[in-house]
Amino acid sequence: MAKSSSPTASASGTKKRKSKSGALTHEEVKSLGHELLSSRTHLNHAPTLLALLSPSAPLKIALEALISLQSFFEPLLPSIPSSSAAAAEVASSDPELVFGAWLRQRFDEFVAALIELSVLPHSDDTIREVAFDAFMNFVKLGKDGRFHSAIYHKFLHAVVHATDSIDPLLELLGSKYSKYADVCYFTYTSLDKITNSLGSQTTGSGKDGLQNGDDSSEDRSISCIHNIYNILVHIPALDFKKETKFDMWSTVGISLKGEKNSFEGSSATHINKRLKVKFTKAWLAFLKLALPLDVYKEVLATIHQNVIPSMSNPAILCDFFTRSYDIGGVISVMALSGLFILMTQHNLEYPKFYDKLYALLTPAVFMAKHRSVFLQLLDACLKSSYVSAHLAASFAKRLSRLALSVPPAGALIIIALIHNLLRRHPSINFLVHWEVPQDDTNTSGEASHPKKVGADPFNNEVTDPTKSGAMRSSLWEIDTLRHHYTPAVSRFVASLENDLTVRAKTTEMKITDFSSGSYATVFRDEVRRRIKQVPLAFYRTTPTSLFQESDFPGWTFEQASVLGNENSTVETGGASPAKRPTMKSALHFWGIFSCLCSYAISKNIDARPDTVSIGALFTFNSTIGRVAKIAMAAAVGDINNDSSILPGTKLVVQMRDSNCSGFVGIVQALQFMEKDTIAIIGPQSSVLAHVVSHVANELQVPMLSFAATDPTLTPLQFPFFVRTTHSDHFQMASVADIVNYYGWKQVTAIYIDDDYGRNGISSLDDELAKRRSKILYKAAVRPGAKKSEMATVLVRVAMMESRVLILHANPDSGIALLLLARNLGMTSSGYVWIATDWLGSFLDSSPHLDIDLVNAVQGVLTLRQHTENTRKKSMLASKWSALVKRDNVDSRFLINSYGLYAYDTVWMIAHALDAFFSRGGNISFSIYPKLREIAGGGLHLGAMTVFDEGKLLLEIIRQINFTGATGLVKFDSDGNLIQPAYDIVNILGSGSRTIGYWSNYSGLSTASPETLYMKSANRLRENQKLGLVIWPGETVTRPRGWVFPNNGNELRIGVPHRVSFRQFVSADNITDTVRGFCIDVFVAATNLLQYPVPYKFMMFGNGSENPSYTQLINKIQTNEFDAVVGDIAIVTNRTRVVDFTQPYIESGLVVLTSVKKHSSSGWSFLQPFTIRMWGVTGLFFLIIGTVVWLLEHRINDDFRGPPVKQIITVFWFSFSTLFFAHREDTRSTLGRFVIIIWLFVVLIIQSSYTASLTSILTVQQLTSPITGIDSLVASDEPIGFQVGSFAENYLLQELGVSKSRLRALGNPDEYKRALDLGPGNGGVMAIVDERPYIELFLLEHPKFAVVGSEFTKSGWGFAFPRDSPLAVDLSTAILELSENGDLQRIHEKWLNNRMTESQSQTNDLESDSLQVYSFSGLFLICGVACVITLAIHAGVLVHKYCEHAASSQQAALSSTDGSSRSSSSRSRLQAFLSFADRREIDTRRASKEKAAALAGVGGDSVGGVSAVSSTTSVSTTTSC
């Protein structure tokens, strides 16, 4: 064993395995893992599996290797020696020590591989999460149960030095492990060490840290700083203020070595102290680094909230904040928050604080990103009573000057700030109304210094506020804002006209109401303002005054004319002014009366009760109720502490426990109605909601339920029922999408048999039907059922076909069902469990799970209502432990999504009541009149009253719109919360992981719904994605989702009882078996399935004629047959009612008819060419002969001689080329060129003629008046078809053939008889049937033939019920039969080899003759060649003739002593033709002789001429 596990052997084994790892399959890797876990003899498999742990390895293989190695190392972890001990044991001779050293090396390699898989960005999300969970398990299982800080430090070192994004990994770390105190402790410890080592390279902070490095080392340092900051952000600070019990990831916690007292290391006080120290050290080390600018800003933006409250001594941050505050600009603005906290809470002294704050007031600060916090802090800093009047005046004056240049939203904030300054410091109120006379020269006071008109003594440029001269100025800028272009600003500035020195009559402005303003908010508020409608008046002429004298007879109107200082009064009616009331006085009285009325109305509207009570009805001791009780109490506290909502009114929620009893819940709901309750939160149960909603409808009391998800609780029936969570309609749509995504067609639903369960499953059934799936079996469980009853239900479920189980129950019954399913083996491989959100909420609320439950839920998919990461959610989660402790609850539990919705429900009521009171709503009740008719008994029904303003409150609730802990809270037109979404969670180990999301907007996705809402909706199937799932049985392979039902029943296979063509299907009455080609294919396909399929064949038909295949298919619909096997054609009408397998043989309709032999005539040899073709061919023969004669005539003796001979030569030569038998030789180059082309043309023509004639004389032997289906349908002849075939319906419905023309034929003998008789003797013209039948028929009757082509394309398959998974598996098996050749062998067994040879081919009964167009290219080439050669020849001939004529003319001139004679054109043409007719060699000889004769003339010129003429005459005669 020592040899086999030695380092040398393992290294060689690893190297060898690595070379083959690329060829390892998933099954091989799984086998290696099983062998490694089974015995030490297979230890060398560990290096092989380690080699597979790579991000580039296939996902399934890497995941299988990882799980195997984790299972291998976890039991051995306590015995693995340390690294130092392993180094010393390598050289030991003890096999166990060598094995320990080898094991340590492999473990270190495994840990390094896990870190690599976790950190690298291109790792798959699934392998990253599994690898990280495995790594954290090793961290948890350190020596003696201690936290394994060494390997955890390696992990953080790799994360810090990662060059790519680490956000996915940090999300895992923060969401799953940051809640454990020891993980946070050692994270801070390691970060402190890593940051200090990094600080030796990059030191300094503040202004020196604002740099962007250019070299690679500096870039790496900046990347490390970003990573450190991201880790610190993702590890939130725990609640150090409360001494509570901290959760620990490891067994021992954060107890260190050497601690004798275990209580000392585990007490909450000691843990608080240690965590604070490590938290402080980590942040101090980080802040000492040279932070990049972006990180610097992020730190300053959040440090006052996330860091300072959790530090042991926040005062040590004073250097960091003062340096940041001194930098100026945006950095100073962002540093103000932390500096203010240190000054106000930790006694930090900063002498020049207000000088710096004064310098920060620039127009840019009103457009900064963090202006809201800065302006709130500015108002808080100026609130101190120690601020002097000079300082307050300087700030007020500087702000008023800024009001002239900032946006409207900034002007509103400035007005609010100045308002508060003037109210806090009455001594500077003179700045508002103070005016300095021009001749004021009194110097006794600062406020009376002389100044020039139009000159402001305020100096806006100085940085010292005490030297700005603000006390000698005024707030004239504020008066300018009266004419601001924004109405909101011009209206708001009027608030400064009030006497702010009387503090009892004025209130401070809330800067928070203005600090986040922008152009958008100002515009929105202005649009929403209620504008008083002004009546319109139309005048024929433009009025010159508001009222006419005729409108008020007896009244006197005063008109003021500004003409110097004179006033005039106009009197009407001659009445005395003293005795008549003036219009001006009346208007004054009317204005006073209107003001009084408005004041009274406003007082009535703003009258709010001191306390508002609402009811809450739910089960306290339940998974949802425990969380909801704490969440609602927290919401009430937050609302009552927030003065911006329900000011002056205290909200009280009276909670009642329904104790899981419908009767108790009804009684308590009625008790609420007796006490004039205006709203009820709840009930939790959907069953109870159905009953109580009727009462709420009658008494008009809104009911807001955060847990009743029954989809039938709709506003149409229950208008006063408001669901503040998502309906199960959306949850069932998400489940249906998951089922459809994985391709399952049938599921089994297990549910509680009440309104909640039944209606939820009914909605699931509807959603599955939309996706062409269905619920195969509905297993109802009685509410409160015993385990024996549940076991009976599960046993029935196990006998069903589907293995996809949907569990829709409550936590109590659902957990019991899962535990029973595990005992029954129903959570093993092959099963799929999908639980609705009851399981997700239960797991979220349970900090620790029982080991049996953990094993039962492995691989289960569950849902969780998706909630956004809002600020309220984070705040509620951070203080949850304290809230639970304050409630004095014995058991500890965490918050879940229902708790968040309960929290938002209380806030929803608070917002609605606030709007209700603002709109003049009044809490009043009246007697319900229908209850008066009910008298007697002990029930005080008369105490129940109707909420008068219930409809108004309900309307306001329906229109609510705010951001709560779950995100945006708003209802759609159907009364549902908008943007329903769910997290899809896969349970693995003791935790869970989110594999994707579902939203009603975009379906399934691995991206969060918030990111998808910003994109266009896309529900295409290719965009639906989910992460990798680890299914029950720890497998990543998608389960098939069904098995053959284990109910003892066999499949009833219907088989047609044929009487013809029994080679396909036949019944043996002796052996009572079924045989045939189709049967053998079905049996061979079922043998390839990976599971047994018991079946029995059942014949359909009377045995005397072929049955109707349409009726046979319908038997599947009526559930008489489970499937149909045989020669079943796949046609459209049948696919609408059943599913077919892959076709196992091709088929289609063809036309079979009688044919006659065709006898050829004696003139058949002329048929290959048309008459035109013959003519063109003969013409070209003559043309070619003529062209060749012209080219060869002058130089070739074969083409010379008498004219008759030359004509015969042309004909002979041209036609002899047809047989390549021409004997005349061609001497000219042009002639040979023409002959070559022509011989090629002749070759093509001859070959084509031979082929066509051969086809005519040999192939075309059969003829028929029917050439195909078209000619058959067009005729009126009778048509035959096989009994039971779909051909009858096809001819009638598709082709429109009259039924009177159709003849039913039962067997091949009737086929032959009907065709032999023919249409005139009671037979048929043709038979339309499927090709396989016709091929068998032609084997025995070859005198018939198929005419035309196959006019339908189909095949034969096996029929199954719709969405049957067996049809899919059999289709795969049929394809496998086709690929391995078994299908062909079965075909040869039953249908004979000769079928392939005797397959009918389409006959061209009318063979077309060859056309000229087919050879036009050849003729064109040949013609062009002839023209070109003739042109060249003509050119050469003309040139030579010209030379000859010139020499002859010169000789003639010399012989006649220069006398000129003219020759006629006719004589010239004759001379040219004579020249062209001469042989070229004779022409050259004659020219030479003529030249010699002229040269040798010595005597009489006449004699010389005679001699030449004689010679010429002789030559000419010879040439002819």
Residues of the chain with pLDDT > 70, as a percent, come to 77
Q: What is the pLDDT of residue 264?
A: 41
Residue range 192-199: mean pLDDT, rounded: 84
Predicted confidence (pLDDT) at residue 1409 exceeds the cutoff of 60 = no
Confidence at 1515, pLDDT banded by 50, 70, 90:
very low
Residue 1119: exposure state from Cβ atoms within 10 A (0-12, 13-18, ≥19): exposed
Q: Are 864 and 897 in contact (CB under 8 A)?
A: yes
Of residues 502 and 366, more confidently modeled: 366
- Inform me whether the pLDDT recorded for 763 exceeds 90: yes
Any idea which of 942-946, 1053-1057, 1397-1401 has the lowest mean pLDDT? 1397-1401
pLDDT computed for residue 725 by the predictor: 94
Model confidence band, residue 1464 (pLDDT cutoffs 50, 70, 90) = low
| Phi, psi angle pair for 138, to nearest 5° | -65, -35
pTM of the model: 0.52
CB 722 within 8 Å of CB 644: no
pLDDT-derived band at 449 (thresholds 50, 70, 90) equals very low
**Could you tell me where the beta strands, DSSP code E, fall in 595-691?**
611-618, 650-657, 680-681
- Residue 370's pLDDT is 66
What span, in angstroms and rounded, lies between the C-alpha atoms of 1122 and 1138? 11
Query: In which band, very low, low, confident or very high, does the pLDDT at 365 lie, cut at 50, 70 and 90?
Result: confident
* pLDDT bucket at 1392, cuts 50 / 70 / 90: low
- Which residues 6+ apart lie within 8 Å of 865 measured at CB? 725, 726, 837, 840, 897, 898, 901, 966, 981, 982, 983
Alpha helices in 1103-1163 (DSSP H): 1109-1117, 1132-1135
Closest CA to 1137 of 1163, 1170, 1115, 1161: 1115
Per-residue model confidence (pLDDT) at position 1394 = 45
Residue range 877-905: mean pLDDT, rounded: 84
Whether the pLDDT of residue 467 is over 60: the answer is yes
Q: Which region among 628-637, 1302-1311, 1385-1394, 1422-1431 has the lowest average model confidence (pLDDT)?
A: 1385-1394
The mean per-residue pLDDT over the stretch 1052-1073 comes to 87
Q: What is the distance, to the nearest Å, from the Cα of residue 1064 to the centroid of all Cα atoms in its chain? A: 49
- Residue 201: what pLDDT? 60
**Residue 240, φ and ψ in degrees, nearest 5:** -75, -20
Element housing 1403 (H / E): none
Mean pLDDT, residues 137-142: 80
Count Cα neighbours of 111 within 13 Å in the Cβ-side half-sphere.
23
Residue 1284: pLDDT band with limits 50, 70, 90: confident
Burial of 1460 (0-12, 13-18, 19+ CB in 10 A): exposed
**Strand, coil or helix: what is 1052?**
strand
For residue 256, the 8-state DSSP code is P
**Alpha-carbon distance 456 to 458, whole Å?**
5
The conformation of residue 316, written as its DSSP 8-state character, comes to G
Residue 14 has a pLDDT of 41
pLDDT at 1356 over 90: yes
Specify the DSSP class assigned to residue 1049: P
Q: How far apart are CA 494 and CA 503, in angstroms?
A: 17
Highest average pLDDT, of 109-123, 126-140, 183-197, 1107-1121, comes from 1107-1121
How does the average pLDDT of the chain come out, rounded? 78
The confidence score (pLDDT) of residue 1162 equals 61
Q: Which long-range contacts (CB under 8 A, 24 or more apart) does 1385-1388 make?
A: 1386/1077, 1386/1080, 1386/1081, 1386/1084, 1387/1077, 1387/1145
1108: CB partners within 8 A, 6+ apart = 1284
What is the model's pLDDT at position 538?
Answer: 54
Q: And the tokens for 696?
A: 């709420």
pLDDT, tens digit, 9 for 90 and up, residues 199-247: 766 544 443 444 444 456 677 888 888 888 888 887 766 555 554 566 7
Spatial CA neighbour of 1429 closest among 1184, 1213, 1245: 1184
Chain segment 1468-1505, per-residue pLDDT in tens: 777 777 777 776 665 556 666 655 655 554 444 434 43
- The DSSP symbol for 1299 reads G
Contact 1169, 1249 (CB under 8 A): yes
Looking at residue 267, its pLDDT comes to 65
Six-digit token string for 187: 């994270």
For the residues of 364-382, what is the DSSP string, one character each? GGGGSTTHHHHHHHHHHHT
Q: Hey, how many other C-beta atoms are within 10 angstroms of the C-beta on 631?
A: 26
Helix 59-76 and helix 125-140: axis angle, to 10°? Answer: 0
Q: Are 713 and 726 in contact (CB under 8 A)?
A: no
Mean pLDDT along residues 153-181: 82
C-alpha distances in angstroms, 10 versus 94, 155, 466, 547?
Answer: 17, 26, 82, 110
CA distance 979 to 868: 11
* 518 vs 726, higher pLDDT: 726
pLDDT in tens, 638-662: 998 888 888 888 899 999 888 888 7
Please list the residues that pair with 1004 across neighbouring strands: 998
The better pLDDT of the pair 104, 628 is held by: 628
Which residue bears the tokens 């398959």? 1357
Q: Cα 919 to the chain's mean position, in Å?
A: 44
Q: What is the mean pLDDT of residues 1290-1313?
A: 90
Give pLDDT tens digits for 310-330.
777 777 777 777 777 667 666
pLDDT at 1261 over 60: no
Checking if the pLDDT of 454 tops 70, the result is: no
Angstrom distances, CA of residue 1502 to CA of 887, 1455, 1497: 158, 9, 10
Residue 528 pLDDT > 50: yes
Q: Which long-range contacts (CB under 8 A, 24 or more apart) does 822-827 make?
A: 822/852, 822/855, 822/856, 824/791, 824/794, 824/795, 824/798, 826/794, 826/797, 826/798, 827/856, 827/858, 827/859, 827/860, 827/1032
Give 612-640 pLDDT, tens digit per residue. 989 999 998 888 999 999 999 999 999 98
d(CA 369, CA 363): 13
Greater pLDDT, 1346 or 935: 1346
DSSP secondary structure letters along 120-185 = -TTS-HHHHHHHHHHHHHHHHT-GGG---HHHHHHHHHHHHT-SS--HHHHHHIIIIITTSHHHHH
Query: For residues 1452 and 1046, which has the higher predicted lDDT (pLDDT)?
Result: 1452
Whole-angstrom distance, CA of residue 1290 vs CA of residue 294:
75
Q: According to the model, what pLDDT value does residue 48 have?
A: 87
CB–CB of 52/82 below 8 Å? Answer: no
Structure confidence at residue 1257 (pLDDT): 64
Helix (H) / strand (E) element for 989: namely: none
CB 317 within 8 A of CB 281: no
pLDDT tens across 1174-1192, in order? 888 888 888 887 888 888 7
pLDDT for residue 552 is more than 80 = no
Q: How far apart are CA 1142 and CA 294, in angstroms?
A: 62
Residue 1434 predicted with pLDDT over 70 = yes
Termini Cα distance of the chain: 118
Task: Please say if the pLDDT value at position 589 is more than 90.
Answer: no
Taking only the tens place, the pLDDT of each residue in 68-94 is 888 888 888 777 877 767 666 555 667
DSSP class of 1293? I
More confident residue, 904 or 295: 904
Q: What pLDDT was estimated at residue 447?
A: 41
Task: Cis check for the bond before 683: say yes or no (omega within 30 of 0).
Answer: yes
- What is the model's pLDDT at position 1026? 92
983 pLDDT above the threshold of 60: yes
For residue 932, the one-letter residue type is: R
Positive or negative, the CA dihedral 571, 573, 574, 577 is negative
- CB-CB contact of 681 with 909 (8 Å): yes
Tell me, what amino acid is at 489?
V
Task: Show Cβ contacts of residue 1183 under 8 Å, excluding neighbours closer than 6 positions.
Answer: 1423, 1426
Q: Virtual CA dihedral for 534, 538, 542, 546, nearest 10 degrees? A: -40
- CA–CA dist 1024, 749 (Å, integer): 24
CA separation for the pair 24, 281 (Å, rounded): 49
Contact 498, 454 (CB under 8 A): no
Most confident region among 376-385, 407-416, 749-758 by mean pLDDT: 749-758
Q: Which residue has the tokens 């015993």?
A: 786
Q: Report the residue count for the chain.
A: 1520
Contacts of 541 (CB under 8 A, 6+ apart): none
